[in-house]
Homo-oligomer: A and B are copies of this chain.
Amino acid sequence: MYTGTHLLADLSGCSGLDDAARVELALREAVAAASATLLDVRLHHFGPGQGVTGVALLAESHISIHTWPEHGYAAVDIFLCGQSHDLDAALAALSTRLEAGRCDERRVARGYGLPD
């Protein structure tokens, strides 16, 4: 049975990836854009000029981001259960806030008893 869609996105050419406040804002904007329900948001900044790890726990699963500012690269995953949430809008919000120049994405259907 279908449970949800897991979107993996690699964002390149980004700005502000060493700015924890900006990464948190991007996460929160993605949650709002998806019309998802935020339970908790946790960030870890590895230090000045370094990357940020952030996760938004959602009633519908999660959105995570890990950044490598030295490469302008961020690895994002957006996992939303149910069919009424907008993954594209969430990804667009992240890409816009982080000024991504390129976005490579893959989508994986998640659930139990899915056909092989």
Binding site for B on A (CB under 8 A): 1, 3-4, 6, 8, 10, 12, 39-40, 42, 44, 46, 53, 55, 57-59, 61-62, 64, 66, 68, 71-73, 75, 77, 79, 81, 104, 106, 108, 110-114, 116
Contacts and interface: CB of A to CB of B under 8 A. Distances in A.
A95 B113 CA distance: 17
B55 A8 contact: no
Given A57-B55, A62-B53, A75 B110 contact: yes
B64 A62 contact: yes
A57 to B, nearest CB: 6
B42 A53 contact: no
A3 B44 contact: no
Given A66-B81, A114-B10, A42 B61 contact: no
